[in-house]
Structure 1
Amino acid sequence: MQYVRGMLARQPLLMLLEDLQWADDSSLDLVAHLVSEIPNAALLIVGAARPALFERRPNWGEGQEAYSLLELKALSKRATRSLVEEILQKAAELPEALRELIVEAAEGNPYYVEELIKMLIEDGVIERGESQWQVRVERLAEVRVPPTLTAVLQARLDALPQGEKAVLQRASVVGRQFWDSVVGELAGDAEEVIEVGPLLGALRERELVFQREQSAFADAREYTFKHNILRDVTYETVLRKLRRRYHAQVAGWLEAHAGERLGEYLRVIARHYELAAEALKAAQYLQRAGDEAYKVGSLGDARDCFHHALELLPAGYEAQRATLLVRMGEALDRLGELSAAEERLEQGLSLAERVADRAVEAAALAALGHVAYMRGSCDVGERHARTCLELGRECGDMRGQAQAAVLLSMILIRRGEGDQAERWAEEGLSLYDRIGDRQGVGTALNCLGMMSLVRWDLDRAAQYCHENLALCEEIGDRVGTSRALNDLGEVARKQGDYGQARACYERTLAISSETGNAEMHAIAVINLGMVYLAQVEDGEAWRCLCQGLRESIAMQAKPLALYVLAVMAQLCVRAGEPQRAGELLGVVLHHPSTDSEALEEAQPALEALREAMPPEELEAVLARGAELDLEQVVGEILAGNETSDA
């Protein structure tokens, strides 16, 4: 982001992105993040993709003001004829039979047109001269036109000299992008390492591959296949036995040459090991890739890496399986998939106990405690946290102790026990600092900022939030960044600076949408509703609160849902609906998952009702609300909101 901002400070910027259907979720999220973070910049992003992109990410880009979609149709016959004439403009004479043969076969596919013409050149039907090309009409009748693009490419491959074909086949195992050094080192049982430079030069002349001006590796030239379809067709011609050997060699080459940039190639290496049938190594690299994705807030990618690693991990590696289950559970927790998270964490805990891995046990308990915290079961969360703390102390696991300390701080904040919460947050901060876990330091700073907000010590809260924000941005922790921004929004809201508060919440929403952090997204949209409430924009406030309520219930976060109901009660009072407000307050005041923040937020509406109703009437309406089911109340509110929107 800083790099792009730096370029934009000097000049307008155009970014061209090809084959976006192959981009991973992190890359797609980054593009969306660029647009949302710098909406007024002189930046144009042009991306090309096949329909497969929208099968995987159907709503990608949708809803952003700067986004527009242009669907490209097949070329018309007239346009195809123009393309043929453009490519063959040097031909002294272009026979009608040749032009129509190409047009009819192409069916509007420009890539087919290019490749078929190149095949005809290689077959001698078209002869290229320095200034003029000749069409050998007598050979035209012998031409067998392949019916599909794949068949055209296969025909071109079959016509290649053996050396060029072998190099292209080896390159296809590396991928769409490849490097001459690794291609030159690939060899099967009876093959020798070959000099690939001249052969790649010949393939460049045939426009099957292109050389890039800059390479990702200093000691190798970087190339790319002209099209991914060409790479796929070539790959299918490689013997399966050789594929496995080549993939293992490519993985080893990347390990040896990636250096400090190894993190960028973890998933690539994992994929090569998987295709080499080395499942254990593939699972190990996927675990590392998942860990890196989790650190920067790519939660969906992290979940997918851990899941795939579990699928690949051979039997007998139970300690690693326990770790993967817990790491996947942690990712699912942040994604708001609490039931799935709990299931994986329980599995991981059971397995860790069986193999006596105390550190993994502690991590599982801390994550299970957070799941319980999210659901409003603070007693269960505290029990898990204290067991985690004991385990950490027994086995010297400082990270487990730090996780437990921060979780205890969060639970105590929710209960309104500020002094104890602060002590545990400071304990967590000290432990994380001692082990050099900067991401953990950010979570402890977040707790200290939350504690200061609860106490209305806004200057101190702002100090913690700014320190946390700077740290998270420095280490690339987007989940932590969104938390810090949200808390800065809370500082601004409590100071009455609603414009700044809204800006912070909107940035939080943008980042949370990209990372998939359901908890932070729900909190930010609720807080945005609070801004509208303060500015007496009740319609917008109700809309935001309904969205936050829907998201909270979807992830079973009852304390958040109850907080929303407390705020909605204030809107009902304003709207002249005291009975409805009283019933909502009855739900909030008597539900076991209600925390101190929801109780505090219920007070304005409660005071207003005390002035508007006789005590016995208020008591009756609160009692009526206490008997209501939370999920049913939420369902009725959301159904009513959908009806009004319609």
Structure 2
Amino acid sequence: MERKLATVLFADLVASTELVSGADPEVVRRRVTTFFEGVAQCIESHGGTVEKFAGDAVMAAFGIPRSHEDDAERAVRASLSILEQVHKLGLEARIGVEAGEVVVDDTDSTFATGEAVNVAARLQQAARPGEILIGESAHRLTLTTVETEPAGPLELRGFRHPIPAFRPIAAVDGRRALGSLAAPFLGRDSELELLQNTLERTIRDRRPHVFTIYGEPGVGKSRLVREFLAGVEGATVLAGRALPYGEGVTYWPLAEMVKSAAGITDDDPLEEAQQKLLECCGDEAIAELLGLASGVLEAVEGERGQPEIAWAAREFADELASVQPLVLVFEDIHWAEEPLLELIDHLAQWVRERALLIVCLARPELLDVRPGWGGGRIRSTAIELEPLPREESERLADALLADTALPTKVRATLLDKTEGNPLFVEETVRMVLESGDGRVFDRIPDTLQALIAARIDRLPQSEKLLLQRASVIGRIFWIGALARLAPEFGEEIEDAVEDLLIRDLVTREARSTITGESAYRFKHVLIREVAYAALSKSSRADLHARFADWLRERADNELLEIRAYHLDQACTLLAELDGRPPLELAQTTAHVLDLAGKRALSREANQSARKLLLRAVELEPTLERRYNAARAAWKLADLGSVLVEMSAVVEAAAVAGDNRIHGRALNALSDSILAREGDATRARELADRALDVLDEDDFEGRFGALDTRSLVDWYEGKLGSAEEYETQALAAAQIAGRKDLESKATLELASIQLVRMEDDKAAPLIERALELADASGSIVARASAAMTKGDYHRLRAECDEAEQWLVQAFDLFTEAGSQLGIGKSSSYLARLAWHAGDPKRAEKLLRDAIRLLAPMQERGTLCEAQRVLAQLLVEQGRIEEAEKYALAARETVSAEDLASRATTRLALAQVRVAQGRDDEAASLFREAVEIVRGSEYCRIDLELLPPYVQFLRERERLDEVAALEERLAELAPSAA
């Protein structure tokens, strides 16, 4: 069974009943036979195949059994010819034509099934006598060769929605075997010179530079870089490509670079790979992180996140570039996941005083997800490769054709239809040269897919089969893997692959990542995609499963994510065909997806982890898989999903008696409810349940519950109780040996002292937290400690020190990719800028913070940024806008977050003062003060009281001022 892109034609004799009625049967037979013969002749002369005669109708197919690049055009031309032929007989016909994917039983069969067949049949029934109707796909394939007019959309029987239809008016008018074509490098001299000059400047200035090359498939991005690299001397060159799989291969390009630099193959024993990596990196921590990222090593105790991997990659690049200039080539980054794009940004920003050139190749769709990529950064260049000019296309075609002469019309059509795309030109010339009998068709196809499909169909059946089997493996394939998928070739398989190489469908890889395995690459990814599309889904499923089995035997741990992808493809295809995959396959796939998902989670490739683990849950929903999938959502701040999924996990874990998962799921649920819903009562209840459930020796789990319990009491103004819980959390972190958690707890204790205005107690705690964060190696821990240190100096009006630490925190959060941290540090920097007399900078920082924080649905930080912006806008006299943000802050704040309830009312009170609505302002001031009365929120009191006292004094309400001034004098004598 095979899938093919084909065009189907239905032709029906009009009024056949009237023709038969009362007529001599011999006359009728002769006229109907003449009709059928004429229709068949028109079809066959245009390269179509008559599939069947049914009564007075004819069904024909174009592209079966062999594809042509212009099958849709041929079908339309045949239809026009049929109408002309039938008219000569004094008869009329109606015709329907549509193109699309169909399924045929074998390579020689002409019996096709598929939607295109049904659409063509219904269009024929809807056509008027003497009319041709073609469907949307056929119209799209003949845009430049057939003149049409709209005839739809039409309501056709059996289809839910109207079907677009078009009426053709007229068609627009226009062997020597060869191995590999040697395409010259043409039309890119200026781009090549720019690349060369950029490298020279990078070496001269010893500063990193990012050079992004955009272009449509086949336009010559890779060829340009190959020519550039061929002239690079005295530099280290490492290259890697982002895979189109999109699941669990986040750092694949980095892995290729690391393995290449270290000389590691995918089937190296673990100890040997570790040793090679350590020798290459020269540092155990860097080697471990890069080993995890590249798949050389299994995940170790605890987790290593995206920030640490980025740090290790930076150190790795820095070391290589310290020896000689370094060129890193990232191919196909339009397929890259966000962590890889962040890593490239990280290298460009944080490698210092080194000659590092980062070359990125991408299709324009990268800009859909990263609109600013390649711009807005110093030392960054972005170019788009346009199609070759007409004269360069002519030179390219002439060079490829060599001594083969083409008719002027055919040559002109070739250049028109390829539109300067070098791969289009090359593949089209190849098709002409391989036509076999020296003839060429009237037109050169307008899509590369049609070119490749037709070219593949002209291969000997054995080579076509081999190409299709290789397509299942991927863009790069290994001889051993292909032998597993095509055992009928036996020892001749290498010779067969060499034939594909001679035909220039594949190229040989200079280096294989698996020792002893010759590796080949499809010349272009579209060749692989077209070959794959021709396989039936049942064949694909079988081949994916067989390749996954080969991976298990040869490089299971190293290529775990790839194996998971192929097993999942097999399951998906069989479920589509049979309703569900076989149980054993589903269980195996779920297991491998689970392993790959947990590996991604340990590297903080959380989006990939989420997809992998959700799919594992779908196939076999174990409790641990459900918990890990929900944990990935928690790390992504997808709080809505966390609430739903963790609630279900909590119930299931309770039934199963799994205390570890039960307690930790309660922690996640408690934290998410507090952050998203602001429900401190419910959060406290869940945290207390977690403490009851978790085993006494699960110190890491107990830390989470105690830390959340402390935060709940902080929300409610119970600072003494919050301090007690955080002290217990600190002890749990110490026993667990988690210095990052120990630093977090120490910072929380320091923050409690700061809000009490006991700065002398807070200072040593902050210093201790900084030491712990540095020792932990966690970028987020270091950033959090720096932020608290900076805020400590801000509160004491020590602006220079505050700026230094807060900028450091912002930079570290940026390096870590922590959106919440960036938002928080931006908010603190904004307050500092406002205090220092720079309201413009403060406003920008606050707006940036709000933009980052709003999608997270994290109430506490967002409402504070909103209310500070409102206060800033009031000071600038922008009252209407200030009111908007003050009301938004009051809407955002949690009902049980006492401190923020008070500060958001303060902001709205100041807006009302500016609006002259004194009664409302007075009420809001009173509410704010009453909310925190009796609490230990001394610093909040100090923020609330001065504007309230000023408001009362200006209105000569001195009887209300005395008590407030007394409290203010206690807090800060100089402010009274």
Q: TM-score, normalised by structure 2?
A: 0.53
> 1:104 pairs with 416, 431, 451, which one?
416
Residues 1:416 and 2:713 are matched in the alignment: no
- Cα displacement (A) at 1:230: 0.5
2-structure distance, mates of 1:160, 1:374: 61
SS at match of 2:328: strand
**CA shift for structure 1 position 365:** 0.7
Per the alignment, residue 634 of structure 1 pairs with none
| 8 Å Cα contact 1:289-1:305 kept in structure 2 | yes
Indicate whether 1:237 and 2:534 are aligned: yes
Residue matched to 1:134? none
* Equivalent residue letter for 2:483: G
Aligned to 1:254: 551
SS at match of 1:117: helix
CA contact (8 A) 2:766 2:788 kept: no
- For residues 147-171 of structure 1, what are the alpha-carbon distances to aligned partners after superposition, in whole Å with 9 as ceiling and x for unaligned? 5322221233233344433332222
**1:107-126, aligned counterparts within 5 Å?**
107-123=419-435
Q: Is the 8 A contact 1:552 1:561 kept in 2?
A: yes
Specify which of 159, 164, 173 is matched with residue 463 of structure 2: 164
Distance between the aligned counterparts of 1:218 and 1:450, measured in 2? 52
Alignment deviations for residues 369-419 of structure 1 (CA, whole Å, 9 cap, x no partner)? 11133244333222212211211128x755533432343354456653464
Amino acid at match of 1:6: E
Report if the CA contact (8 A) 1:15-1:45 is conserved: yes
- Corresponding position: 1:530 with 2:831: yes
Q: What is aligned with 1:475?
A: none
Tell whether the 8 Å contact from 1:345 to 1:368 is kept in structure 2 after alignment. Answer: yes
Q: For residue 480 of structure 2, what is the aligned residue in structure 1?
A: 181
Distance across 2 between alignment mates of 1:551 and 1:447: 25
Matching of residues 469-548 of structure 1 within 5 Å: 469=774, 471-472=776-777, 481-495=779-793, 496-511=800-815, 514=817, 517-548=818-849
Q: CA deviation at 1:71?
A: 4.0
Q: 8 Å contact 2:743–2:773 — kept in the other structure?
A: yes
AA of the residue aligned to 1:451? L
Q: Which one of the candidate residues 949, 970, 973 is aligned to 1:610?
A: 949
Query: More deviation in 77-86 or 53-62?
Result: 53-62
CA 1:338 to 1:93, structure 2 compared with 1: closer, same or farther past 3 Å? Answer: closer
Of the three residues 396, 404, 407, the one matched with 1:83 is 396
Q: Structure 1 counterpart of 2:416, which letter?
A: E
Deviation by residue 1:590-632 (Cα, 9 ceiling, x = unmatched): 669x9978x6356245346536643958979xx9xxxxxxxxx
Q: Residue 115 of structure 1: CA displacement?
A: 1.1
1:282-304, Cα deviation, whole Å (9 max, x unpaired): 33333333333333333333333
Structure 2 residue aligned with 1:369, among 670, 681, 697? 670
Matches within 5 A, 1:293-312: 293-310=600-617, 312=618
Equivalent AA in structure 2 for residue 461 of structure 1: I
Deviations 1:112-170 (A, max 9, x none): 11112223333457xxxxxxxxxxxxx24578745532222123323334443333222
| 1:76-101: CA deviation from partner (whole Å, max 9, x where unpaired) | 4334223213434x438676455324
Aligned to 1:637: none
Deviations 1:502-535 (A, max 9, x none): 43233245246x4xx5432321221232332343
1:331 corresponds to which residue? 632
Distance 1:387 1:600 in 2: 33
Determine what percentage of the aligned residue pairs are the same residue: 24
- Structure 1 stretch 500-509 or stretch 92-101: which is displaced more? 92-101
Paired amino acid for 1:507:
D
Residue 342 (structure 1) aligns with? 643
Q: Give the alignment's Cα RMSD to 1 decimal.
A: 4.0
Query: Partner letter of residue 297 of structure 1?
Result: E
Shift of 1:429: 1.3
Aligned partner letter, 2:747:
G
Q: Give the Cα separation in 2 of the matches to 1:37 and 1:585.
A: 47
Query: Does the CA contact (< 8 Å) of 2:710 and 2:723 recur in 1?
Result: no
The separation in 1 between residues aligned to 2:960 and 2:388, in whole angstroms, is 73
Task: Note closer, same or farther for the CA distance 1:518–1:274 as it changes in structure 2 (3 Å cut).
Answer: farther
- Distance in 1, Cα, partners of 2:346 & 2:564: 22
> Which of residues 480, 496, 506 is equivalent to 1:209?
506
1:644 aligns with none
Quote the offset at 1:63 in angstroms: 4.8
**Distance of aligned partners of 1:280 and 1:46 in 2 relative to their CA distance in 1, 3 Å threshold:** same
Seen in structure 2, the aligned counterparts of structure 1 residues 568 and 609 have a Cα distance that, compared at 3 Å, is: farther
Among 582, 590, 607, the residue aligned to 1:283: 590
In the alignment, is the contact (CA less than 8 A) between 1:179 and 1:223 conserved in 2? yes
What CA distance in whole angstroms lies between the structure 1 residues aligned with 2:926 and 2:388?
65
- Pick closer, same or farther for the CA change 1:546–1:357 going to 2, 3 Å: same
Q: Counterpart of 2:811 in structure 1: which amino acid?
A: R
How has the CA–CA distance of structure 1 residues 563 and 596 changed in structure 2, closer, same or farther, with 3 Å as cutoff?
farther
Q: CA deviation at 1:460?
A: 4.6
- TM-superposed CA distance for 1:367, in Å, is 0.4
Residues 773 and 785, structure 2, Cα contact 8 Å, conserved in 1 = no
CA contact (8 A) 1:303 1:332 kept: yes
CA contact (8 A) 1:362 1:389 kept: yes
- 2:695 aligned residue (393, 399, 408): 393
Counterpart AA for 1:313: L
Aligned residues: 581
8 A Cα contact 1:16 1:47, kept in partner = yes
Q: Counterparts of 1:187 and 1:595 in 2: how far apart (Å)?
A: 76
What SS does the corresponding residue of 1:214 show, helix, strand or coil? coil
CA contact (8 A) 1:208 1:225 kept: yes
Query: TM-score, normalization: structure 1?
Result: 0.77
- Higher fraction of helix: 1
> Contact 1:406–1:447 at 8 Å: present in 2 too?
yes
User: Residue in 2 aligned with 1:638?
Assistant: none
Higher relative contact order (CA 8 A, sep 6+): 2
Q: Which amino acid aligns with 2:456?
A: L
Whether contact under 8 Å (2:480, 2:517) holds in the other structure is yes
Please report how far the alpha carbon of residue 172 of structure 1 lies from its aligned counterpart in structure 2 after TM superposition: 0.8
Map 1:430-469 to 2 at 5 A: 430=734, 432-433=736-737, 442-452=740-750, 454-455=752-753, 456=759, 457-458=762-763, 460-469=765-774
Distance change (3 Å), C-alpha of 1:413 and 1:11 = farther
Say which of 341, 347, 350 aligns to 1:28.
Answer: 341
Aligned to 1:131: none
**C-alpha separation in 2, matches of 1:69 and 1:240:** 40
Distance 1:525 1:62, change over 3 A: farther
| CA distance in 2: counterparts of 1:224 and 1:4, whole angstroms | 27
The answer (yes or no) to whether the contact 1:182–1:253 under 8 Å persists in 2 is yes
